[in-house]
Each structure stands twice: as structure tokens, then as C-alpha cells.
Structure 1
């Protein structure tokens, strides 16, 4: 199991600002190894309670909240990452557990007892939460990511573009998902994650961003857009 605890800032920027920042960061940050051939794809299936508790807490700005998801980077992957993120203000704790493809498919079908086969407190905690609050798959969100890293303070900066989603197909491993665009005009979600404090050049660049720091989550964005498609 992997545990990551750090601070996080998010910004919603346009493509021009994204290109400018990427050019700037490329001078002193390292491009993620996964970007050797360009942007790589991230696909996440989000679960939520039967009454959409996690979605509404995000929309209402509840200070302490969580997200539960399955994540893959390739539909042919033999495994998926089962993750739970807990956030309080700018601090976040992410715990991840790699599980075989078959177990991921069982979770999508609502068979949460598969988690009891893992001798880990995290798996049992997830089983209790997902069973107690009747969690169900709610949306798949996919996007193209460019990432930059620095060893100092474990800094990781990501640019997520071409964000698309679906609330009608929960086959995480499908190669033919029917996805709708989350933004009508081109927008990029900029995420900055770090331990302790930001390096001065990074902090300076963020201070010059045209957009103020916002609380933007891809799951809540996709659900909001999906509701607009349904209700107009």
C-alpha cells in the first residue's frame, strides 16, 4: 500500500497560460518519465454514496471530505489502483492499493466483500465505508496529463487537459467509452502538490497566474456538467 501526505493547490487556467507555465517550469523541473512520448492518459472511476454524499460535500465546501476511486493508465492494464483521498483545506492524504483487474471489476459490480480478502486495515476501512453508505460507481473521468517533478519538498506539478467524462458507462477497462467534454471551451486544471513549502520560482509563477487559486475537483466538475446535459 502507498501513502502520500502533502499540500495541494489547484488552478483552472487556459491553454495559453498552460503552455507558458510548462515552458517556464521546464527550465528547472524534471519532466515526468511517463511523458517521454508526450501526455499520458489518466482514467478514474469515482464511487459515491447512494445520496451523492461526497459530491455534495465538495459542492458545499465541507472542510474535511473524501473521494474513493479506481484508477488506470491503460485499458489493458492487469491491475487498477484503488485509492481514497481525504482532504482538509490544502492538506491531503492519499492511500493507494494496487488490486488485480478481476477484483476491480468485482468492485464495479458492487461486490465489496472482495476487499475482505486483503489483510490490510485500509482495505477493511474501505469495505466498511462503501458498504455502510451504499457506495456505487457514479462517473468515469479521463484526461491527458503532463507532469513536472522536483526532489526538493517532493514537488509535483501536473497539467490536465482534454478532460472528458461519462456517467452512463462504468467499464473502467473499456476501449470504446462514450465520453462528453467537461469544458465547452479549452481549460486546463493545474495542480501543485508539495511537502512543507514551495520553491521560490514555483511560488512566483503561481502568484502571476491570471486565475486565483480555486477548489476544483474533476469528479465534481464532471458530475455538474453531466447534470447540465440532463436538465439543460
Structure 2
């Protein structure tokens, strides 16, 4: 099992309606391959627990549109997959995502606000997480869950995802709970298209996406999910 991942690539997001979702899904099914996590066209569940500082700095930096900003989250795919502690940073037109693979027991420690377990990992990123989260008083803020249908292409590590059924909770942080209490964040039937790639987007993928004349928006599942506590908005 890899313990550390570092990815830097372009990432574009497009809000889409239910009608566009099903038509786009049909086109992508004919053009690209489903990723290894997708057993069928319904996709799989993704659950993330977002952390933020005492002053909710990450939320407000995103809302203010700062050029350089970040998010820290625990991510689980609800199966026997490893838990990831991720540090996602916006760097101009690129997104850098550094991930540390954790044992589930250590992820539970982080959920409780105990971060010393990170010092047991002999990886510089783990020490960086520990130092930053302790000094900036990071705590769990919001649990987010959605369904993802993911497609991949070998050229430029291209990845296209359709995310729907977005739900969240700002007070319950049971990342590993079978059926946590969640409220809807996204209007029924709406979804988000995300297109990620290195260097340039392959033309055959670009043609599929551009045929729907979508409008790119810098949306954030985390910020939308915090609509009760911090005034986020429905996507």
C-alpha cells in the first residue's frame, strides 16, 4: 500500500442539470472507460470529513476567491479501501493534492481532535499535517457525502467525474458510520461535472464536454455544505 501520493493537475468544474447529467453520462460511457472503483453506471459513494481552523480560514479564503487556498480532509470510499488524509491546494490554474494513507484507528484519532498519531508516520507530509493542524487549531467542521461516477483515459492522466446526491452534516462527524444523519446540499437532480488532466485535455474528451456548452464555475462542496453554520449556498 502506498503511504504518500502527490498529484498536480488542472481541474475544471461545471454545474449540470439532471437532463444534462443523463445525456452526458451516456456520451461518456461510449467514449471513456469507467475507473476501477465503478462496478456499474451508478458509481460509488465518497465520504469526506473536512477540517478547518478556529476562524474557519479555509472556508472564507474560498468564499473570497483567493488565488492560493487549501482544504484539509479525511476521505473514505466506504469499502475496504484505505483512508486518506488529503491536503488540497489551489495553485493558479492547477490543483495540487497530497495524500497520506492512514490506518483507520488513526483516522478516528483525528476525528476526536488528537493529532499526535501523525508523528508515528515516517513521512515529512505527516509532520507537516501535525504541525499545521495543531498550530492553527484545526478541528472537524463538516461531513460531506456524494455519489461519484468516474471515467478515465490514459492520455495525460485524464479523469472525468459526475458527482450527484450531495449531502452533509455540520455537527456529526462519524466518517465510518453505516448511515449517518445527513441533509441535502444540492438541489434534487443537479450534479457537478469535474474534468481533471495533466498538460492538456485530449481532444476527444474536450469534444464531448464542449458539445453541452457548459459554464465553468469554481464551486466547492465544502463551502456549499456549510450553509447552516456559515451561510453556504445550495449548488
- TM-score with structure 1 length normalisation? 0.93
| 8 Å CA contact 2:165, 2:188 repeated in 1 | no
| 8 Å CA contact 1:42, 1:73 repeated in 2 | yes
What's the secondary structure of 1:111's corresponding residue? coil
The partner residue of 1:53 within 34, 45, 57 is 57
Instruction: Tell me: CA distance 1:196–1:78, structure 2 relative to 1, closer, same or farther (3 Å).
Output: closer
Per-residue CA distance 1:70-95 (angstroms, 9 max, x = gap): 01111x64841111111123301111
| 8 Å CA contact 1:8, 1:91 repeated in 2 | yes
1:122 paired with 2:125, answer yes
How many pairs does the alignment contain? 228
- TM-score with structure 2 length normalisation? 0.92
1:142 paired with 2:145, answer yes
The partner residue of 1:68 within 54, 59, 72 is 72
1:161 paired with 2:164, answer yes
More displaced stretch, 78-87 vs 5-14: 78-87
Alignment of 1:10-159 (within 5 A): 10-37=13-40, 38-74=42-78, 77=80, 79-159=82-162
| 8 Å CA contact 2:58, 2:69 repeated in 1 | yes
The partner residue of 1:5 within 8, 17, 28 is 8
What's the secondary structure of 1:58's corresponding residue? helix
Distance 1:41 1:78 in 2: 12
Per-residue CA distance 1:134-173 (angstroms, 9 max, x = gap): 0000001001110110001110000001000001101111
> Gaps (5+ residues) in structure 1?
none
Instruction: Tell me: CA distance 1:195–1:16, structure 2 relative to 1, closer, same or farther (3 Å).
Output: same
| 8 Å CA contact 1:153, 1:196 repeated in 2 | yes
> Gaps (5+ residues) in structure 2?
none
| 8 Å CA contact 1:182, 1:225 repeated in 2 | no
Distance 1:112 1:78 in 2: 22
What's the secondary structure of 2:30's corresponding residue? coil
Distance 1:184 1:22 in 2: 19
| 8 Å CA contact 1:167, 1:226 repeated in 2 | yes
Distance 1:176 1:156 in 2: 28
Distance 1:96 1:72 in 2: 12
Distance 2:175 2:102 in 1: 13
| 8 Å CA contact 1:78, 1:101 repeated in 2 | no
| 8 Å CA contact 2:168, 2:183 repeated in 1 | yes
